[in-house]
Each structure stands twice: as structure tokens, then as C-alpha cells.
Structure 1
Amino acid sequence: MKVGIDKIGFYTPNKFVDMVDLAKARDVDPGKFLIGIGQNKMAVADKSQDAVSMAINATSEYIDKIELDKLGLLVFGTESSVDQSKSASLFVKKALNLPKNIRTFELKEACFGLTAAIMTAIDYVKAHEDKTAIVIGSDIARYGVATPGEVTQGAGSISLLIKKDPSIMEINSETSMYSDDIDDFWRPNNFKCALVDGKYSTNVYLDFFKHCFEDYTQKQNLKTSDFEALLFHLPFTKMGQKALKLAIEGQDPETTARLLDKFVAGATYGKEVGNIYTASLYMSLLSLLEVDQPKAGSLIGLFSYGSGAMAEFFTGRLVDGYEKQLAPEKHKEMLEKRQKLTVAEYEEVFNESLKDLAESQEVQSDANGWYFAGTSNNIRKYSRK
């Protein structure tokens, strides 16, 4: 049975800070951020945007185009959860008036969360051929103002519909996995910003990619040249470039040039948004499809990594006519219409978003679409503008 991605929704907040401005404010050569890290802009979420509101907006992009009576599963992968007990998926379910007779839950393994959700959904659809599944990755990457990891922050969400005979990409059943208990990145319960050992995390990421990629290509009897594109989890663009360098080492000029070009296309949205944790790999997939439009039938390799650490490499083939399922102009407009913040404004928005809310507190939003509207007796509320 062919199972895979049938719909893709994408959302990022309506504010950003420019990396040149941030570099100057931090007394750093802008080239360090633009080239050394590989970022142009960084999405900024104010207090009215959280993992749930972004997920609702991303899913809203296609929800009116699917058969809700066939929906049987909703899984929300995140490391920016809004509640220690209640699943973020239930807020999405209520906002979008999804059927009550579906299985829904939230899962976590750092930036691997959406991949775990996808693999769970594929297994579900294979066991229930007449059913579909929605999987969401939604996160706000926070390291703190003026910290070493500040330039690798961001915010956004990707939502996917997984079904039999998909119209965008068929996901192959074979995968290669690698995991270990390490401390490269983590966020204790009492911390609102993540802790990270940046250099160590990069080395682990590259080591895990090497294990997964070599294992997959050997088992499936594939060569690097067989891939039309290789996509990566991109906490920042340069990290993925380093992994790609390992894959193309010693390859012929045509393969090297093609994979480098496809990587650039896949990193286009990420360079404008920043790190969105669980959804970063799939924002790269969407970016490749909308910016480059590879030919149908292309074999796409995807490397997913979640610190702590869990990694998986898998592949998919693009379906004929997949372009009709995409919305490149809408996403281009979303990115272009964002409000540019000064560094001082960004710092104010960032620090304000970290403050605890009162038991009952109203929150206003200047963005269109769904937003976090505040609390009432410690119950979170979401509204649409």
C-alpha cells in the first residue's frame, strides 16, 4: 500500500527580526550570522502566538479540502507544549471542529516529534486503509536574548495530512534509525528557554546522520547519485550544509551540483523563518517543492534529528501533479507581509512572551487568523481574528 503526504499547511508569526540588525546590536560581524550560521531573518512570536495557535493556522490551510468523516487520528509533535497534562491536539481539535470519534494525543522527542508522528500515522493508515491522519509539528525555539543560541531561534508550524494514495509524496516503508542518551540540548521543567551545547550538538548531529545515511543506502542498495535531493532538519542552515558535505564527498560533479542546488531551495524558507524545531525538516521539504519544483517520481531523502538524541533517515517519491496541492504564492505573501521589528522591539516582545499569565488574563493580537486569547480560571482560550 502506498501511504504518504497528501496535504501540507504552513504558518509562521507575523513578526521577524533581521539578522544584520541583530548582528550589529550584538557587536558581531553580520557575515557570522548570514554566512556562518546561514540565516537572514528570524520569526518572532509574541504572547498571542503559541504552539497551538500556529498549529491551528497551519492546519486551517487545508482543512476545508479533506473528508473529515475519514479522519481517524490527530497527532501533535512539539517541544513547546502549553500544558503538562492536556494534549495540544485537543485545542486544535476544538478550534477546527474536528470529529469527536478520533484518536488524538501529543508526543515529544525534541525536534524528532513530527517525524515520530508521521511514522505513527503511516502505521495507522496501513492498519485502517479507509482512514486518514493529521500530524502537526509546531514550536517556538527560544534560547534567550543575547545568548550564544539566540541567532538560531524561530517560530512556526507545519501540518500534514497522511493518507493512502497520497497526492504529494509517497513515503517508503524502509527507514534507518539511530539513538543514544546524550546531553546536547535539553529544557528542564522549570526553564522557559532551552539549554544547548552547540558544538557538541552539531558533532552528534553529523555522527548520527552518517550512521543513518550509510545504513540506509547500504541496505537499500542506493548511491548518493540516486537521490534528487537530500533534506535535513535545519536548526540553522549551516548545520544541514555540513551534513550534506558528508553525503556528497567524492561524488561526480553533476550529483554534487544537483544536491547543492536542491539544498539551497530547501533551505529558502528556513533562512527567512529560523528554527521551528519539530517542523524544520518539513518546512525544508515544502520549501524545496515550492521553490524548485522537482520532477514527479523524484526520490527525496529526509534526515530527521531530535537532540537527546534520536535520528532517522527515510525516503519518499513525489507524486505526479503534486504541484497542484501547494500554495507557493500564499506562503510567499505570508513571509513578505510580516512586520519587521527593531532589535529593541524584538527584545521587548521576546521578554514579554516569557512572563507568566495571570489566572484570568485577556491577550490581544495584531495578526489575522487564530491566536492565543489568554486565560480564564487558568484555562487557555483561542480565538480567530
Structure 2
Amino acid sequence: MNIGIDKIGFFAPPYYVDMTKLAEARGVDPDKFTIGIGQDEMALAPVTQDAVTLAANAALQIIDEEDKEKIDLVLFGTESGIDHSKSAAVYVHNLLGLNPYARSVELKQACYSATAGIQMAKGHIALNPDSKVLVIGADIARYGLGTPGEATQGAGAVAMVISKDPKLLLLENDSTYFTNDIMDFWRPLYSENAYVDGKFSNEQYILFFNKVWEKYKERTGRTLADFAALCFHTPYTKMGWKALRTILEEGTEEVQEKLKANYQTSIRYNRRVGNIYTGSLYLSLLSLLEENDTIQAGEKIGLYSYGSGAVGEFFTGILQPDYKKYLHINRHEELFRSREEVSVEKYEEIFQNTLPSDGASIELESDNDPSPIYLSGIQDHKRIYVNRIR
């Protein structure tokens, strides 16, 4: 049975800050952010947007009435969960009006968990061929103002419908994966912001990539020449490039040039959004699919997923006939056009406007948030969500 990504959608919050202006405000050479890290803009979530609303807004644009009936499993990968007990997927299930006879589960393993969701979805579809699965990666990356990690923040979500006979990308079964207990990045339950050992995390990201790539070649006998493009998890866009260049010499000059060009295409959206943790790899895939004008149906795409702590996986997909027809290119172009650039001062104000940490009730002002789905407040320790179009 052919199983894979049938639909894919993306959502970013309505604000962003320009990385050149942020660098200047921090007394840093802008090239450090735009070239050294590889980021042009950073998406910024107002207090009315959290992982749940980002996820629901991403899924809202791609699902139709048939999907609502056939989706019987919602898998939500996030490291920005809002409750220790109740799954964020349950909130999304309700906000989208999905078939009630469904399973809804939140998954966690740093930036890897949406990939785990995809692999679980494949198993579910294999057992239930007429079902569809909604897989979401949504996060808000926070390190704090003026911290070393500030330039690698961001916010957004990618939603995918997994089904048999997919219209976009058939997912192959020969993936390779690796786990090791390390402390390269973590966020304790008591902390709003993440902690990271940056140099060590970069080293481990590349090490894990090399391990799963070597295992993949050993199992399949394939080489770089078999791929039209490789997509990477991108906590910042220079990170994927660092991993890619460790294996480029395995290919001919022609193969190297093709992979380098398509890598640049795959990071265009990420450069404008920043780090969205669980959704970052799939934002790269979306950017590649929507922005390229050379990759043809039948060609193979490699994907590298990495979640600190750490789990890595390399897996592959084959582009389907007329895949471009089933993308939402105009909608995503409009999403980028409609965002509002804010000053560094306004960015700092929005960043520091957080929800009460003591359980107090609050009603949020939503006039400045045009998103279809938003958080309207907290009452009796319960988050109150609104879907404007329902």
C-alpha cells in the first residue's frame, strides 16, 4: 500500500522582527545573524497565540469536510505543550470540528516528535486503509531576550494529512534512526525558556546525521546520486548546511551542485520564520515543494529529523504526479505578505507579555490578532479558545 503526505499546510503568527535590526539593537554585526546563523526574519507569537492555536490554524487551511470525517487519529508533536495531562491534540480536534470517533494524542521528543507521529500514522493507515491521520508540529521557540539563543527563536506550525495514495509525497519504509541519552538541549518543567549547550548540540546534530546516513546507505545501497534534494531539521538554516556539506564529496560535481541549490530552496521559508522546533523539517520540505521549479514527479527526497536529547532519523519520499497542483502556494504567499513587521522595542514588549503563572483568570485583547483561531483568555485555570469562522 502506498502511504504518505496527502496534504500539507503552514501557519505563522501575524508579527515578525527583522534580524538585521535585531542585530543592530544588540550591538552585533548583522552578518552574524543573516549569514552566520542564516536567518532574515523571526516570527513572533502574541499572547493570543500558543502551540494549540498555531496548530489549529495550520490545519484549518488544508482540511475539508471529507477529511473531517475520515481523520480518526490526531498526532500533535510539540515541546510547547500547555498542560501536563490534557493533550494539545484534543483541543485541536475540537477547534477543527473533527469526527468525534477518533484518537487524539500529544507526542514529545524535542524537535523529533512530529516525525514520530508520521511513522505512527503510517502504521495506522496500513491497518485502516480508509482512515486519514492529522499530524502536526507546532511550537514557540523561546530562549530569552539578549541571550545567545535569541537569534534562533521563532513560532509556527505545519500540519499534514497522512493517507493512502497520497497526492504529494509517498513515504518509503527504509528509514534509519538512532537514539542516545545526551543533554544538548532541554527545558525543565519549571522554566519558560529552554537551555542549550550550543556547541555540543551542533556536534551531536551532525554526528546523528552521519550515523543514520551511513546506516541508510548500508541497508539500501543508495547514494547521493539517488536524491533530488535533502531536507533538514533547521533550528537555524545554517545548521542543515553544516550537516549536508559533511557528505557532499560523496557525489559528483553535478550532484553536489543540485543538492546545494535545492538546499537553498528548502530554507527560504525557514529564513523568514525562524525555529519552530517540531515543524522545522516540514517547513523546509514545504519550502522545497513550493519554491522549486526543477524537481519532477518520481524523484526522491531525503529528510533528516533530529530531536535533542536525542533522537535522529533519516527517511525518504517520492514525489507524486502533479504534486504542485495540490499545494497552497498562493495562500502561503499571502500569509507572508500579511504579516506585520514590528520594531525591536515592540518585539520585546510582545515577548514579555505572557500569561499569568499563578493561575489567575484573564481576558485577552484579540483585536490585533487577525488569526482565525486564537486564545481569548483563561478562566478557572482553563484556556478559552475561539474559532472565528465556526
Aligned counterparts of 2:135 and 2:358: Cα–Cα separation in 1: 29
Aligned position for 2:369: 367
Q: Report the AA paired with residue 367 of structure 1.
A: D
Deviations 1:115-138, CA, capped at 9 Å, x for gaps: 011001011100111111101110
Q: Does 1:356 align with 2:342?
A: no
Q: CA offset at residue 332 of structure 1? A: 1.3
Aligned position for 1:44: 44
Aligned counterparts of 2:246 and 2:129: Cα–Cα separation in 1: 39
Aligned position for 2:185: 185
295-304 or 370-379, larger mean C-alpha shift:
370-379
The residue matched to 2:175 in structure 1 has which SS?
Answer: strand
Aligned position for 2:288: 288
Aligned counterparts of 2:351 and 2:117: Cα–Cα separation in 1: 29
- The within-5 A match list for 1:121-136 is 121-136=121-136
Aligned position for 2:276: 276
Deviations 1:247-282, CA, capped at 9 Å, x for gaps: 212421111110011100100000000000000000
Aligned counterparts of 1:192 and 1:43: Cα–Cα separation in 2: 18
- The within-5 A match list for 1:1-385 is 1-64=1-64, 66-293=66-293, 294-353=295-354, 355-356=356-357, 358-365=359-366, 366-368=368-370, 369-385=372-388
CA gap of 1:135–1:347, structure 2 versus 1, over 3 A, is same
Aligned counterparts of 1:334 and 1:133: Cα–Cα separation in 2: 25
Q: CA offset at residue 68 of structure 1? A: 2.7
CA gap of 1:173–1:71, structure 2 versus 1, over 3 A, is same
1:357/1:375 contact within 8 Å kept: no
Superposition RMSD on alpha carbons, in Å? 1.1
Aligned counterparts of 1:174 and 1:48: Cα–Cα separation in 2: 41
1:152/1:274 contact within 8 Å kept: yes
Length-normalised TM-score, structure 1: 0.98
2:68/2:97 contact within 8 Å kept: no
Deviations 1:62-107, CA, capped at 9 Å, x for gaps: 1226433322211110000011100001111111111111011101
Q: Report the AA paired with residue 335 of structure 2.
A: M
Q: Report the AA paired with residue 226 of structure 1.
A: D
Deviations 1:28-84, CA, capped at 9 Å, x for gaps: 000000100000000011100100001110000112264333222111100000111
Length-normalised TM-score, structure 2: 0.97
Deviations 1:309-361, CA, capped at 9 Å, x for gaps: 00000000000011111111211111122111111111111011365375321
- Size of the alignment, in residue pairs? 385
1:15/1:45 contact within 8 Å kept: yes
**4+ long deviations beyond 4 Å:** none
Deviations 1:199-229, CA, capped at 9 Å, x for gaps: 1000000000000011102211101111000
Sequence identity (%): 45
2:224/2:250 contact within 8 Å kept: no
1:40/1:271 contact within 8 Å kept: yes
130-139 or 59-68, larger mean C-alpha shift:
59-68
The residue matched to 1:173 in structure 2 has which SS?
Answer: coil
Q: CA offset at residue 384 of structure 1? A: 3.0
Q: CA offset at residue 364 of structure 1? A: 2.1
Q: Report the AA paired with residue 373 of structure 1.
A: S
Aligned counterparts of 1:283 and 1:266: Cα–Cα separation in 2: 8
1:135/1:159 contact within 8 Å kept: yes
2:70/2:99 contact within 8 Å kept: no
Aligned counterparts of 1:227 and 1:328: Cα–Cα separation in 2: 24
Deviations 1:134-153, CA, capped at 9 Å, x for gaps: 01110000000000000000
Q: CA offset at residue 246 of structure 1? A: 1.1
The residue matched to 2:279 in structure 1 has which SS?
Answer: helix
Q: Report the AA paired with residue 44 of structure 1.
A: L
322-331 or 350-359, larger mean C-alpha shift:
350-359
1:178/1:312 contact within 8 Å kept: yes
CA gap of 1:136–1:207, structure 2 versus 1, over 3 A, is same
